[in-house]
Amino acid sequence: MTHSIKRGVSLYSFQEEYFLRKLTLEDCIAVSVGFGALGIETIAEQMMPGFPDLSDDFYRRWDAWREQYGFQPTAHDMFAELKLYPDRARPTGELVEDLKKDIDHTARLGATVIRILAATPAEVVELAAPYARDKGVRLATEVHAPRRFSSDWFASHFEVAERVGPDVVGICPDLGIFVKRLPKVLWERSLRDGADSDFVKRVVDVYDSGEDTSTLQDEAERLNLGPLEQDIALQATRFIWEEPRQLLDYMPYIHHVHAKFYEIDDSGEEYSIPYQEIISVLKEGGYDGYLSSEYEGNRHIQDAFEVDSVEQVRRHQEMLTRLLADED
Amino acid sequence: MTRPELLLGPDAAVAGEKGLEVRIRQPWYRSLPLSSVLDVAVELDGTPVPDDRIRLRVNGRARRIAELAPCWDEIWFIQDEGAVEIDGAAGSPGDEIAVAVAIELAPTSSSTGWGR
């Protein structure tokens, strides 16, 4: 099936190396482009110190990198600072003003999408939408586990998207909503920490068979198990499996995709997320945006292993290349 | 989210001007306003240090923990090291002290808090 799906990387993937000052913003771009991932998604508050008041110098440097590496800026990830004031809620008007700064920044980067953090009130998106339209920027609310398409939360955001129109407001599915098997890195860590192996196996079995995970914490309590078992039971409730074909109901609204992954093992596959099935649906639906690699395995392995986000992204991009080329 | 060993390296504790100083990082994947630091707790050789002897120094300015809450417009960049200043805990070169530091953060964008 012919398609126009493009490959990209969210620089979120390199958080560990950036934190440790092993990679700079420019390094992260160069590494991604080296894997043929020409769409670059950025988190200003991670790698652009001074945001939202970035200097002309910064933007000139950015333009020069674009020229040098030939990448396309894809999305800017915004954060709604809902709890900025310890003693009072953030007024809606201030959140809208913040979002307008995000829109200006996105337009200046040359990107066309803002990842709207799921916690952002739908009203804020609607109020900023006319400004986004003027600037040629689309607002894509992230559909992120454990939130589901069937939730009231989704309904309220989708209502705004329908009212404003998909040319400006839409969604950014995070593929972490399609976790079919509990990530191996998650339960292996639990075992390393010393959790009861029978109970960990029970959690994995319940999750992987699609049964209800919400009773696992009670079960751990009945068995007189400790905090490690409580923790894996709780974590299992934060992962979800949605049917990928649901994406077909929202195709005109899908402006960006966070290609979340926890681990690409030596076989070159993502253990927990069935990428082939998902990409096949995106092709069928005519998705023509970016699959933006988002590595999130570091936190689960850093107790015992050297984190190599670059190698993980390389493997992920290799897998995407293969699946995008498949004739299915 | 980053492992504790990354926040507090083996050489984190140094003798400062007024006492002991513990170098510390902000354990999140993006920069946060100082107001998101809810608490910094320190133990020296297993004994908790009272709040009035602790200051957090970020961007070159040291503040008591209670002074952080209103600092919502000052950013702690994730690559920048801060320091916990502990008044009166001076030692001599070569002393061995067991230092424990716990930092409690509540990222300002999330609807729920996040523990230490």
pLDDT digits (tens, 9 = 90+) for A8-67: 999 999 999 999 999 999 999 999 999 999 999 999 999 999 999 999 999 999 999 999
**Interchain proximity A85–B72, CB inside 8 Å:** yes
Which pLDDT score, from 0 to 100, does residue B6 have? 62
Instruction: Find out whether A115 and A75 touch, Cβ atoms under 8 Å.
Output: yes
In a domain, B63, yes or no: yes
In a domain, B38, yes or no: yes
**Interchain proximity B2–A299, CB inside 8 Å:** yes
Cβ-in-10-Å burial (0-12, 13-18, 19+) of A120 comes to: buried
pLDDT digits (tens, 9 = 90+) for A118-170: 999 999 999 999 999 999 999 999 999 999 999 999 999 999 999 999 999 99
Q: Nearest C-alpha of chain B: how many angstroms from A15?
A: 6
Cβ-in-10-Å burial (0-12, 13-18, 19+) of A311 comes to: exposed
Which pLDDT score, from 0 to 100, does residue A87 have? 80
In a domain, A1, yes or no: no
B72 at interface of A, judged by CB pairs closer than 8 A: yes
A contact set with B (CB within 8 A): 12, 15-16, 18-21, 43, 45-46, 49, 79-87, 117, 119, 299, 302-303
**Interchain proximity B31–A86, CB inside 8 Å:** no
In a domain, B24, yes or no: yes
Residue A283 has pLDDT above 80, yes or no: yes
Task: Please tell me whether the peptide bond between A52 and the residue prior to it is cis, using omega within 30 degrees of 0.
Answer: yes
**What average pLDDT score do residues A176-188 get?**
98
Can you read off the two tokens belonging to residue B29?
Answer: 């994947």
Burial A127-151 (b: 16+ CB within 10 A, else e): bbbebbbeeebbbbbbbbbebebee
Residue B90 has pLDDT above 70, yes or no: no
B79 at interface of A, judged by CB pairs closer than 8 A: yes
Instruction: Find out whether B82 and B25 touch, Cβ atoms under 8 Å.
Output: yes
Which pLDDT score, from 0 to 100, does residue A328 have? 66
Instruction: Find out whether B76 and B105 touch, Cβ atoms under 8 Å.
Output: no
B77 at interface of A, judged by CB pairs closer than 8 A: yes
In a domain, B112, yes or no: no
In a domain, B114, yes or no: no
Burial A161-174 (b: 16+ CB within 10 A, else e): beebebebbbbbbb
Identify the H or E element spanning B57: strand B54-58
In a domain, A220, yes or no: yes
CATH number (domain holding residue A292): 3.20.20.150
Q: Nearest C-alpha of chain A: how many angstroms from B110?
A: 7
**Are both A271 and A281 inside the same structural domain?**
yes
Q: Which of A15, A19, A25 to mutate to test the interface with B (most CBs of B within 10 A)?
A: A19
Instruction: Find out whether B25 and B85 touch, Cβ atoms under 8 Å.
Output: no
Q: Which residues pair with B21 in a beta bridge?
A: B14, B85
The contacts of residue A252 (CB under 8 Å, 6+ apart) are: A166, A170
Average pLDDT, chain A: 97
A119 CB neighbours in chain B (<8 A) are 109-111
B31 CB neighbours in chain A (<8 A) are 45-46, 49
Fill in the DSSP letter of residue A176: G
Considering only the beta carbons, identify the residue of B75, B79, B108 that sits closest to A19. B79
Q: Give the residue from A213, A236, A259 where a domain finishes.
A: A236
Q: What total number of domains does chain B contain? A: 1
3-state secondary structure of A258: strand
pLDDT band with cut points at 50, 70 and 90 for residue B111: very low
Instruction: Find out whether A257 and A178 touch, Cβ atoms under 8 Å.
Output: no
**Are both A52 and A176 inside the same structural domain?**
yes
Considering only the beta carbons, identify the residue of B25, B69, B109 that sits closest to A81. B109
Q: What total number of domains does chain A contain? A: 2
Which pLDDT score, from 0 to 100, does residue A323 have? 98
Q: Any idea which of A38-52, A111-125, A305-319, B78-92 has the lowest mean pLDDT?
A: B78-92
Considering only the beta carbons, identify the residue of B6, B36, B106 that sits closest to A19. B6
Instruction: Find out whether A261 and A273 touch, Cβ atoms under 8 Å.
Output: yes
Domain of residue B27 covers 4-105
B109 CB neighbours in chain A (<8 A) are 79-83, 117, 119
Q: Which of B79, B104, B105, B114 to mutate to test the interface with A (most CBs of A within 10 A)?
A: B79
In a domain, B115, yes or no: no
**Interchain proximity A83–B108, CB inside 8 Å:** yes
In a domain, B101, yes or no: yes
**Interchain proximity B111–A119, CB inside 8 Å:** yes
In a domain, B66, yes or no: yes
Q: Which of A22, A81, A235, A296 to mutate to test the interface with B (most CBs of B within 10 A)?
A: A81
pLDDT band with cut points at 50, 70 and 90 for residue A273: very high
B1 CB neighbours in chain A (<8 A) are 299
Nearest residue of chain A to residue B6 (CA atoms)? A20
**What average pLDDT score do residues B23-46 get?**
90
Considering only the beta carbons, identify the residue of B25, B30, B106 that sits closest to A46. B30
**Are both A13 and A91 inside the same structural domain?**
yes
Which pLDDT score, from 0 to 100, does residue B114 have? 37
Distance CA A100, CA A50 (A): 17
In a domain, A307, yes or no: yes
Query: The complex's ipTM?
Result: 0.85
**Interchain proximity A12–B29, CB inside 8 Å:** yes
**Interchain proximity B79–A18, CB inside 8 Å:** yes
Distance CA A265, CA A273 (A): 12
Distance CA A169, CA A127 (A): 11
Domain of residue A195 covers 184-236
Residues written for chain B? 116
Instruction: Find out whether A268 and A236 touch, Cβ atoms under 8 Å.
Output: no
**Are both A196 and A294 inside the same structural domain?**
no
Which pLDDT score, from 0 to 100, does residue A1 have? 72
